[in-house]
Amino acid sequence: MIFISHILAGIFGLKLLSMFSVSVEFNQFTILIAAVASLLPDVGVLIHDMKHHHGPSHSPLVWLIISVMAIVLNFQIGLVLFVAITLHLITDWFTARLSGLPLLWPFSKTKYSVYRTADDDKGNYDLRKKLKKADRKRLLESYYENKILLGFEFLIACLGLLSILTLIV
Cα–Cα distances in angstroms (integers) from residue 118 to residues 62, 68, 111, in the given order: 29, 37, 15
- Going by C-alpha positions, the residue among 120, 117, 127 that lies closest to residue 149 is 117
Number of Cβ within 10 Å of residue 99's Cβ equals: 26
Residue pair 88/8 in contact (Cβ under 8 Å)? The answer is no
pLDDT of residue 131: 47
pLDDT in tens, 57-106: 888 999 999 999 999 999 999 999 999 999 999 888 877 655 677 888 88
pTM exceeds cut of 0.85: no
**Neighbouring residues of 27: CB distance < 8 A, sequence distance ≥ 6:** 167
d(CA 88, CA 50) in angstroms, rounded, equals: 17
pLDDT in tens, 130-144: 545 544 455 556 566
> What percentage of residues in the chain have a pLDDT greater than 90?
43
DSSP state at residue 108: -
pLDDT of residue 98: 58
Cα–Cα distances in angstroms (integers) from residue 146 to residues 8, 50, 129, 149, in the given order: 21, 20, 19, 5
pLDDT of residue 161: 95
Strand residue runs (E) in 19-78: none
